[in-house]
Amino acid sequence: MIAKKAPNPIDKHVGSRVRMRRMMLSMSQEKLGDALGLTFQQVQKYEKGTNRIGASRLQQISHILQVPVSFFFDGAPHVAGMQRAEGLGEPPSPAYVSDFLASSDGLALTKAFMRIGDSKLRRRIVDLVEQISASEKR
């Protein structure tokens, strides 16, 4: 029996970003698959990172999901063996943001928050949540 190879961390990240954006648009895996000429099972494999998404396919997905290709790499993990340019420090990881947005609570909260038209009210909600979280630390 051949041991299953673990998905590449970048492939997993890109797949999770595809899933997050698809869910933000309330699009099913089947609908995305139809637009790509694929089965929903293939979309599932892309989203889990078990199948790598090629460049032309990623371009196609970005068009369907209405985001730039770079969206899928935002917050991608640093992979050992890849060199950074001299003088550049390690950027802070925004992975916690994508993890939050990928959760059902995070997605629901974000969608509801974005429907609030009054910017002052949104600011007051942010202030309230910050006060609640500060009191939780005590």
Tell me the per-residue pLDDT of 30-53, one tens digit each, with 9 for 90 and over.
999 999 999 999 999 999 999 999
CATH code for the domain in which residue 18 is found: 1.10.260.40
Does residue 126 form part of some domain?
yes
Please, what is the end-to-end C-alpha distance for the chain in angstroms? 53
- For the chain, how many structural domains are there in total? 2
Tell me the per-residue pLDDT of 119-136, one tens digit each, with 9 for 90 and over.
889 889 888 988 888 887
Q: Which tokens belong to 53?
A: 């998404």
| 7 and 60 co-located in one domain | yes
Cβ-contact 101, 18 below 8 angstroms: no
Q: Cα(138)–Cα(128) distance, rounded to whole angstroms? A: 16
Residue written as token pair 């059902």:
104
Residue written as token pair 């990881």:
93
* Full domain range(s) for residue 113: 104-138
Q: What is the pTM of this model?
A: 0.62
Tell me the per-residue pLDDT of 43-96, one tens digit each, with 9 for 90 and over.
999 999 999 999 999 999 999 999 999 888 887 777 655 555 554 555 545 566
Does residue 91 form part of some domain?
no
Question: Quick one: pLDDT band at residue 15, thresholds 50, 70, 90?
Answer: very high
| 68 and 109 co-located in one domain | no
| 121 and 53 co-located in one domain | no
The amino acid sitting at 22 is R
pLDDT at 38: 96
* pLDDT higher at 53 or 104: 53
pLDDT at 50: 92
Phi and psi at 85, nearest 5°, equal -65, 145
* pLDDT higher at 7 or 91: 7
pLDDT at 85: 52
